[in-house]
Every structure is written in structure tokens, then in C-alpha cells.
Amino acid sequence: MTTDRRWSAPEPGRTAVVCVECQNGVLGPDSMLPALAADAEPALAVIESLLTGARGAGVLVVHTPFAGRLGGDPGTTPLMRSTAPATAEWRPGHRATQVLPQLLDPSDLIVPRHQGVSPTWGTELLPLLRARKLDTLVFAGVSLNVAIPLAVGQAAHEGFNVVVAGDAVVGTPAEYGRLVLRNTISLLAQVVSVADLTRAWQQAMDLRQTP
């Protein structure tokens, strides 16, 4: 799935994998967006493989759940207004805001947001990663409808090297997600398969261990 022939493997020590909205209330059995959850279900094992490979190579894994508005107005977008009733009780610690258990490890960083439709716009995420001297972000999760394109564009605009794990991001309908990946995301980021990413990280680990 690597689409950029100039692709070079991200250096593990300067990279974070950003896993967007892979939480119970979005992709779990009681999802507020059941069509998205159904389309994303086949990708969950791929996302898990990406995160496992990243941790094994020393790559930081970051989760960016939507953790409720804390009583605030849902804003002006039709998406946030239409989902406002379903998310009205969401708070930090609420089951719906928790990362899917199979994707979470104690070493992971969780950076929730409480407003807006992107994990990067007006949040702490990019400053936190920059403060850790990380310059490459690998995005996974949902969705290619809204959050992923906005986050990828913002990260690229802020000067990060941006990679999207093409088989670990999903939109709905699924075919629309593939069109976004091919016609929009590929203009903003390198689109690389999870297999290629994890293979490159394993090779980097092997080189570090060579006497």
C-alpha cells in the first residue's frame, strides 16, 4: 500500500503513532456511530498490529479520544450538533470515552479533547509532541470523513512529517474512505501500509542491536 515511491522509514525515536478516536463510544459495541463502527471493525486488528509494532520499536503511541464537552455548547457543525444528545453525559472516565482495551497499553499517552472535530486544532497534542522532540506523526483510526483529514492537514501545516497508515484508517461508507485516502490524504502525507511500517521499525531495531 505504500503509495509514495520516495518513502523513507520514520525513525522510531522521533516518531509518534497518533490513534484517533478508537474508543468505546465510537468503535465499540455501543457506538454512537454504528455505520462507522461496522466499517471499521475489520481494521481493528490491523490497528492493534500497528500499535504493537510501534511500542516494540520504541515509538510513542498516543490516543486522542473525544472525552465529552464538559457542559459546553456543541458548536456549529452538523456533526457535533447531531451527536450532542448521545455524548451529553460523556466525561473523562466515562466508558464511552475510554480507549478500546485491546488497543491500550500502560505506556501509551492519552490526550483527550473536549471541543471541535479534530484532535489537533486548538488542542495540546502537537505542542506536547514537539516538546518531546518528535517530528514525525503516523496517523491511524477514524475517521477519513472528518477528523483524519483535518488532523493530517494541520500536522503538515505545522511542519511535522506526516505518515498515514493506509490500512489502519477508516471512513464511512468504506468506499468513500478509500477515495479520500487516494485523492486527498495522499496529497498531504505519505500513505504506507502497516506491514511496511512495522517491517521498517523492525529493521531499525535490528540495526541498533548489531554489534
- Domain limits of the chain? 11-207
Q: Which residue stretches of 57-173 are H helix?
A: 78-87, 125-131, 147-157
Q: Answer yes or no: pTM beyond 0.85.
A: yes
d(CA 34, CA 28): 9
Class of the CATH-defined domain 11-207:
alpha beta
Q: How far apart are CA 67 and CA 70, in angstroms?
A: 8
Question: Cell match 464537552: residue?
Answer: 69
User: How buried is 196 (Cβ within 10 angstroms: 0-12 exposed, 13-18 middle, 19+ buried)?
Assistant: middle
**pLDDT tens, position by position, for the chain (211 residues)?**
555 545 678 899 999 999 999 999 999 999 999 999 999 999 999 999 999 999 999 999 999 999 999 989 999 999 999 999 999 999 999 999 999 999 999 999 999 999 999 999 999 999 999 999 999 999 999 999 999 999 999 999 999 999 999 999 999 999 999 999 999 999 999 999 999 999 999 998 888 777 6
Beta strand 60-64 with 161-170: parallel, antiparallel or unpaired?
A: unpaired
Q: Check whether the bond before 143 is cis (ω within 30° of 0).
A: yes
Distance (Å, whole) CA 42 – CA 104: 18
